[in-house]
Amino acid sequence: MYTDSQVALTAKARIARSAPVGEVELFAGCQGLIGVVSRYPRDEEIYGEAEEAEFTYKVISGAVRTYKILDDGRRQIAAFHLPGDLFGLESGGRHTLTAEAVADTTLAVYKRRQIDALSEHNVDLACQLWRLTAANLGHAESHMLLLGRKCALERVAAFLVEMEQRIGDQGALELPMSRRDIADYLGLTLETVSRAFSQLQSNGTLELSGARRVRLLRRKALADLGGAG
Amino acid sequence: MYTDSQVALTAKARIARSAPVGEVELFAGCQGLIGVVSRYPRDEEIYGEAEEAEFTYKVISGAVRTYKILDDGRRQIAAFHLPGDLFGLESGGRHTLTAEAVADTTLAVYKRRQIDALSEHNVDLACQLWRLTAANLGHAESHMLLLGRKCALERVAAFLVEMEQRIGDQGALELPMSRRDIADYLGLTLETVSRAFSQLQSNGTLELSGARRVRLLRRKALADLGGAG
DNA sequence: CGGGTGATTGAGCCCGCTCAACTCTCGTGG
DNA sequence: CCACGAGAGTTGAGCGGGCTCAATCACCCG
């Protein structure tokens, strides 16, 4: 899917090269904001923390992680962005997180300047931008409760419930991310995440077929474990 | 300061009764949004999670905690709001956290309807509302890193650095909140917070005069410990 | 069939939690 | 002035959940 030369391109250059494959609207019913389609291989950086926020993105396929990292490598993933999700929409001029492709990913890319210009005369658009940031804040608030106060099993249960709601199909879901990514999202080690999966499987709450293909058998039990939020 | 009849009032009734003591603008230079001043005694609820977001608030004096809580009482404080801070500004129609007065507190109260109406015709105001939400999101992102990946001493150091920046005066600060509030903000127990304070005092990083009066002696060391964010 | 990455499982340890005792501070009243 | 009590904070002892380190397993790719 990728030639070496494509992989070697900077993020900006790749965007500039990409052809607008189709008209991908930022929001449903929002005319005038057409995204440029761009592809990112697994683990490619999309933007870095504190980098100027020149673009905003919408996931078409694949998945994206946004995170902060300490000097010694400890990493906290703030969110996963899945098909249909927008990310990289900062109110300030700079990104506050680093974004990377979790798997091979296709994105629609929008110029921030264009969004800003449109929203100045379009109250609905401005309101939607605000709502999107507020939704991210709401997610972060729930995640702080998880990180600060839930035990390992509760965290993993909450994660599975969240993923089922977002990409599940009648209890079946295909996780795009590794155990390490899950661990860094939940504030655990990958071993602890793995043990929690095993425990949930052995007590009949879920079934694994391959590490990333999960079937939730007792969703109510999972939801109770995961708690509100 | 409070008669029994005042304490017994509902939050809404108290606000309705309060006289506008002075003209308190929502944002500097923002005409037309005048707040009603209202007082809340220590531990009084200002609004509850999932309650309709009828008002937005600005701290005049005192302090406010916003938090989520699990059925069994485990609590995660998302933020402390100190004099000058706005809070309770949700984009959706409902609050996502519970807000309580940490100490006796004076607030300016604004009608959400009024804010919404004004922001429809005032691009600058709309932008400031968005920025405020984005700033809260940025804080939450840093706090997730703290909750998910920092050890107890690092959390307490980061807390002290944050508080010094917000209410410190040349390294001296008076904390308005208890050890339990600090613990529930940092995802620790109050005993662990207390031990961290003692440790930082015994190694000469800070000096305590009374549990809540802190003097930071080695701010660089604290900042290094607390890490970025 | 090997090589490599990712996931699982095991053993032992340690940081932060739990439970408990004690101290300090401060307000109240004799 | 001290006695008293209540709430907040500190300190200690011991435990346990999740981490560390390590070995093994599973699954893709050639």
Q: What's the farthest any 2 CA atoms get from each other in chain B?
A: 57
A102 touches strand C (CB under 7 A): no
pLDDT of residue A29: 65
What is d(CA B193, CA B216) in angstroms, rounded to the nearest whole number? 16
Cβ atoms of B64 and B185 within 8 Å: the answer is: no
pLDDT of residue B228: 81
What is d(CA B121, CA B128) in angstroms, rounded to the nearest whole number? 13
Mutate which: B87, B130, B180, vs A, most A CBs within 10 A:
B130
Beta bridge partners of residue A58, listed in sequence order: A86, A108
DSSP state of B21: -
Residue type, B20: P
Cβ atoms of A111 and A55 within 8 Å: the answer is: yes
Residue B136 exposure: Cα atoms within 13 Å on the Cβ side: 30
Judged against a pLDDT cut of 70, whether residue B98 lies above it is answered with yes
DSSP state of B188: S
Cβ atoms of A217 and A177 within 8 Å: the answer is: no
A151 touches strand C (CB under 7 A): no
For the record, the structure tokens of A91 come out as: 């109110």
Which strands form A64-69's sheet, in the order they lie side by side?
Answer: A45-47, A98-101, A64-69, A75-81
Residue A177 CA and nucleotide C6 C1' are separated, in Å, by 11
Spell out which residues of chain B touch residue A145, defining contact as CB-CB under 8 Å. Answer: 68, 70, 76
Judged against a pLDDT cut of 90, whether residue B42 lies above it is answered with yes
pLDDT of residue B122: 93
Q: DSSP string of B28-84?
A: TT-TT-BPEEEEE-TT-EEE-TT-B--EEEEEEES-EEEEEE-TTS-EEEEEEE-TT
Spell out which residues of chain B touch residue A229, defining contact as CB-CB under 8 Å. Answer: 68
A191 touches strand D (CB under 7 A): yes
B137 and A137 within 8 Å at the Cβ level: the answer is yes
Mutate which: A49, A72, A76, vs B, most B CBs within 10 A:
A76
Residues sharing a CB contact under 8 Å with residue B69, sequence separation 6 or more, in sequence order: B49, B75, B76, B98
Per DSSP, helices labelled H in chain A are: 4-8, 11-17, 112-121, 123-149, 152-167, 179-186, 190-202, 219-226
A211 touches strand C (CB under 7 A): yes
pLDDT of residue A79: 98
Nearest CA in chain A to B118: A123
Name the residue closest to the C1' of D11 by its CA. B195
pLDDT of residue A1: 37
Sites in chain A below the pLDDT cut of 50: 1-9, 16-17, 19
Beta bridge partners of residue A106, listed in sequence order: A39, A61
pLDDT of residue B33: 85
What is d(CA A155, CA A166) in angstroms, rounded to the nearest whole number? 17
pLDDT in tens, B118-161: 999 999 999 999 999 999 999 999 999 999 999 999 999 999 99
B197 CA: nearest nucleotide by C1': D10
At which residue do the structure tokens 């015709």 appear?
B121
pLDDT of residue A13: 52
Angle, helices A123-149/A112-121, rounded to nearest 10 degrees: 120
Range name among A94-108, B8-22, B210-224 with the lowest pLDDT average:
B8-22
**Which of chain B's residues 123-182 bind strand D, using a 7 Å CB cutoff?**
178-180
pLDDT of residue A2: 38
Pairwise pLDDT comparison (B9 vs B150), residue with the higher score: B150
CB atoms within 10 A of CB A211: 11
